[in-house]
Every structure is written in C-alpha cells, then in structure tokens.
Amino acid sequence: MSEKATLNIQGMTCAACVLRVEQGLKDLDGVKKASVNFATEKATVEYDSSVLG
C-alpha cells in the first residue's frame, strides 16, 4: 500500500544538499518517490508501507 509522508529537513545550505537528501531517500527500500524543497526545507516521500512500516 502506497502512503505519503512530509518530513522536515534542516541544515541544507545549497542545491547539492537537496540532491544528496533526495538520492538518499530514493535509495531506501520501499521508497517510490522523493522530492525535496530547499526553500521550505521539506521532503515529500511516497513509500510502500508494507516495506517501510
């Protein structure tokens, strides 16, 4: 079952930080999509709840 979560991300200082956080999230088993917004310091993650409880 697919679910969405919004995460607060602190400490990003540049666009490279955004890319690293996004890639780190996408590399997790069960994560289908991950999008990080530098301006709002938030990440939206779509994941399979049967893999990531």
Q: Which domains does the chain have, with CATH numbers?
A: 2-48 (3.30.70.100)
Write out the E strands in 1-53.
Answer: 2-8, 31-37, 42-48
Q: How far apart are CA 51 and CA 36, in angstroms?
A: 21
What lies within 8 Å, CB to CB, of 16 at 6+ separation is none
Tens-digit pLDDT profile for residues 33-42:
999 999 999 9
pLDDT in tens, the chain (53 residues): 899 999 999 999 999 999 999 999 999 999 999 999 999 999 999 999 999 87
